[in-house]
Every structure is written in C-alpha cells, then in structure tokens.
Amino acid sequence: MMNRTRRLRNSASLRRLVRETTLSVNDFVYPLFIEEGQDIVQPVTSMPGVHRYSVDRLPEIMDRVVAARVPAVLLFGIPAHKDDTGSETWNEAGIIQQAIRFIKKNYPQVTVITDVCFCEYTSHGHCGVLVDEYVDNDATLGNIQKQVLSHAAAGADMVAPSGMMDGTVAAIREALDANGYANLPVMAYSVKYASSFYGPFREAADSAPSFGDRKTYQMDPANSREGLLEAEYDDLEGADILMVKPAITYLDVVKSIKDIFNKPIAAYNVSGEYAMIKAAAANGWIDGEKVMMELLLSIKRAGADIIITYFALEAAEILTKTQYE
C-alpha cells in the first residue's frame, strides 16, 4: 500500500507535529452576567458553574479571568428597573456602565466588550421599541446609538450589537465616529439565528419575550445564504468582527463566512450548548471535559478566530495543563 494515513498517527509527538488546529486561551471571550444590587453571586440553575454577580462581587470571577489569561469578557446587564424602551441601557449610572468602569479600573489588561441589546431591559422582553407588537427597526436604531455612546463613555473597549436590527452597524459607526470614538471596534452579531438554544440564557439574563418570539428579527435556522447577506451588509457597514450564533449547530455557516470574508470571525457557543454538555456530564453519560475540548476545537476548525463561551475559564485551565499532549 502506498498511502497509509495511519503512519503519521504513530505517536503523541508526531500527532502534535501534524496537528492542523490548535486551541488557545487567546481564542476565548468569557460572557459575564452582572446584576444590579449588592453582594450577589447567584447561580444560574440551568448553567452549572455560571453565576450572576453584583459589581462589588465581580473580583471573584475577574480574578479567575486574569489568572486563566482569557483576553476578553462580554458583559450582559440585569437592571433593577425595566421599561418599554429599555432606557436603562443608556443610563450613565446603569448596571453595565458601573461594571465597565469597575473592570477597566481594576482589571485594565482585560478587553471589555459589551452586548448591545434591549431584551434584558424592556418590560416586554423584545429587542427594541414595539409598535403594535412589532419591533420597529428604525425607532430602535436611535436607542442603539444612545446605548453605545453610553458604553463608550463608560470606557468599553468594544461593542457587540445583538438585536438583529437592519442598519445597526452603520448607525453605531455613525454615532461613534461623530463623538470621538472612531477607534472603538464593533463586533457584530451578524448571523444570529432565532434559536431554541438560547433558553438557559434567558433565565440567566431575565430576558425571555413576554409574548411571541424573535422570528421577525432573528434569522430562520433553515437559511445559510441569507447569513452571507447579513455578513456582507455588516462588513460593508464597517463591522470589525463578524459573528455567527449559535456555534455548534451552525458550523457550516461559520465555515462559509470564513471562506468569504477576511475579517476575524467569532462564533458564540451559546447557553443551550453549554447546558446540554453540563447535564450529560453530570449524569456520567459523557466525559464533560473531553467533550468540551472537542467541541471548542470543532468550532475553531470550522473557522472561528474567536470563541465566545461559558467554558472559557475551564477550557483555559485545561489548555495550560495539556498543551504538550
């Protein structure tokens, strides 16, 4: 036999030599839930290992982020007061603004990315301004501009709009550039599906819609060419990083976006993907650590340069131990 692919699998060192994809701590972004109030470290039941923190208790988790050398966190706020427009999102004393200032002051080496959306802040749980139970795209854009300017003023290093309103990146770029933030990058949730895998997040962030669903703004899971269109528009509007979300069930989309666009590609390994693995591992049905690492590797192999994941700290700790295996 001339060709035996097994020859290069003979030993661990040889396998290391021909390995095509390597995961690194540098790939990870760790999402953080920050709740208004004091002395809160509240476990999220459906996401074992994940908690909501009040700002004063953030050091517990931020110390771990720094020790694990994870380069960035993605912040989600849970405000004490909601209203029909989500006006707390642009309150300069709001929960996210406080959290940004706290982290930038105490952990300046960590990149702070903010999720830009309204669903945690609106009384109806939808991602924008409602007109007759329909999320009004253009009325929402003005509020998005207020929100990003407020995050920028508090010191955010990057903003990540996740509401799937058309024209979002252009509106954000216009507001930032006109206010002295031309150098603040945008990571766009470009290809975001109306996915059932967000279930546990909605418990964590208290953001489930009070009626209906998000199918008039988030994408149909059946479509991939439409995802290319979404990415193309965000690219043309000046997005710096293009994201696909969720990750595992959309690796085909990650791959096609990666093949076409020459900007960094992010993939969001979402709450439901995390919860399934944690639940199976807790039952002893899978080896949780090994499955986690294989899954993260698969996301990278498909083309993600950046992986947003609740596994970031655990995976970083394992990578440090096993990098020569």
Backbone angles phi, psi at 195, to 5 degrees: -110, 145
Q: Supply the DSSP symbol for 171.
A: H
Least distance from C-beta 119 to ligand PBG, angstroms? Answer: 5
Q: What does the alpha-carbon distance between residue 279 and residue 283 come to, in Å, rounded to a whole number?
A: 6
Contact 211, 286 (CB under 8 A): no
Residue number, nearest CB to ligand PBG: 201
270 lines the binding site for ligand PBG (CB under 6 A): yes
* 313 closest CA partner among 105, 61, 109: 61
Q: Choose between 59 and 166: whose C-beta lies nearer to ligand PBG.
A: 166
Binds ligand PBG (CB under 6 A): choice among 90, 121, 201, 217? 201
Structure tokens at 310: 């609740």
Task: Name the 3-class secondary structure at 157.
Answer: coil
Nearer to ligand PBG, 196 or 320 (CB): 196
Chosen residue from 62, 103, 117, 144 binding ligand PBG by CB under 6 A: 117
Residue 198 in the binding site for ligand PBG (CB under 6 A)? yes
Catalytic pick from 82, 105, 192, 278?
192
Which stretch in 3-11, 15-23, 61-69, 194-202 sits in contact with ligand PBG by CB under 6 A? 194-202
Q: What are phi and psi of 191, to 5 degrees?
A: -115, 85
Tell me, what amino acid is at 294?
E
The answer to whether residue 255 is catalytic is no
CA distance linking residue 188 with residue 310, whole number of Å: 19
Provide the minimum distance between the beta carbon of 44 and ligand PBG in the complex, in angstroms, as a whole number.
Answer: 11
Structure tokens at 39: 């002395």
Q: Which two tokens stand for residue 91?
A: 């309150």
CB of 187 to ligand PBG, least distance (A): 12
CB nearer to ligand PBG: pick between 136 and 177:
136
**DSSP 3-state of 77:** strand
Catalytic residue among 105, 146, 215, 245: 245
Q: What is the spatial distance between Cα 159 and Cα 53, in angstroms, rounded to a whole number?
A: 21
Residues 227, 322: Cα–Cα separation, whole Å:
36
Q: Is 245 a catalytic residue?
A: yes
Binding-site size for ligand PBG (CB under 6 A) equals 11
Q: Which stretch binds ligand PBG (CB under 6 A): 87-95, 144-152, 195-203, 290-298?
A: 195-203
Residue 25 · residue 307 · CB < 8 Å: no
The nearest distance, CB 120 to ligand PBG, in angstroms, is 6
Q: Which stretch binds ligand PBG (CB under 6 A): 38-46, 88-96, 201-209, 299-307?
A: 201-209
Q: Are 75 and 30 in contact (CB under 8 A)?
A: no
Q: Does 271 bind ligand PBG (CB under 6 A)?
A: yes
- Decide: 313 and 69 in contact? Cβ < 8 Å: no
99 interacts with ligand PBG by CB under 6 A: no
Find the binding residues for ligand PBG in span 134-193 (CB under 6 A): 162
Stretch that binds ligand PBG, among 17-25, 60-68, 169-177, 198-206 (CB under 6 A): 198-206
Partners of residue 268 on adjacent β-strands: 308
End-to-end CA distance of the chain: 30
- In the complex, the residues that contact ligand PBG under the rule CB under 6 A are 115, 117, 119, 162, 198, 201-202, 207, 214, 270-271
Active site residues: 192, 245
